[in-house]
Structure 1
């Protein structure tokens, strides 16, 4: 898997209408975010040390799922690029409500609409969180949200990722 580098640069491409991450002379990551979704359009903005640390925190969280390295990389880079996206309106009514929960940034959670899906918490603010969908999900309203869709939800719509049963020792 690629490792973050000080030679990586964020840029906006008007031809593709996408936020890009220049990884090398031969490789670019094309985010799913268009100009209309962005707070600003960066021009040769170097990847920061904080972003590199976030990359590793996201990758560590994704280790809990059996994802191929290329998929983990795509999710990591999409999650990093979400920092450039305008704040989203709440889409909480699309998902079932549960008891209050306070997720941490880069934590994996589950959402339940008509079906269940994993999401990565990319930011938290008060009683809501911005999440990146890890797969397509059908909402309670009958709408299908695509993989890598960014949405903001009330925290009571999020469930912690359940770990496998813990082994107990008996005396």
Structure 2
């Protein structure tokens, strides 16, 4: 996986109408979040912050549990960080998803949950942000996700859903596991 450094910079590229991350060494990453879903801060250049780097690193372990290649894990992690930092608040679109009986009380950043669409498609999603009763989630599967008969979501697509649609976490970040070892 990539190692963040203090030379990385977020900027908006008007030519491609996309948020970008300059990784140095002539490498540029194009963020999957549509320009219409970006907050105003995304249109100004800013450094890849210490918080951004921390969020990126926290995803390393849970993403390693998914059947994605290393480059795809890095792509997903960078898109998740970008969405956390720059995605506008949006309304939930829960009607695409089946309610779950055993749900998460308080979803947290980086948890990987499963969502099931009304069409029966199931896929892992990363929790980007919990807004109380709903969470912004990002598709963590390379294949398109079928929301309905005529609507699909692509890899790294973000959608907000009510928390009663989220399954129990598939994978957890280090901060959600026990912090103490039993000695003895």
TM-score normalized by the length of structure 1: 0.88
1:101 aligns with 2:77: no
- Tell me the equivalent position of 1:152: 160
1:138 aligns with 2:142: no
What's the CA shift string for 1:106-151, capped at 9, x where partnerless? Answer: 1000010121011000111111110001232112565222221111
- Tell me the equivalent position of 1:56: 57
- Tell me the equivalent position of 1:92: 94
- Tell me the equivalent position of 1:69: 70
- Tell me the equivalent position of 1:118: 124
The unaligned stretches of length 5 or more in structure 1 are 164-171
What's the CA shift string for 1:51-100, capped at 9, x where partnerless? Answer: 11100112222122132110000001111111212112211110000134
- Tell me the equivalent position of 2:180: none
Q: Secondary structure at 1:153's aligned position in 2?
A: strand
Partner Cα distance (1:66, 1:161) in 2: 16
- Tell me the equivalent position of 2:175: none
Q: 1:95 to 1:27 in 2, by over 3 A?
A: same
Q: 1:16 to 1:162 in 2, by over 3 A?
A: closer
TM-score normalized by the length of structure 2: 0.82
Partner Cα distance (1:112, 1:87) in 2: 23
Indicate the RMSD between aligned Cα atoms, in angstroms: 1.7
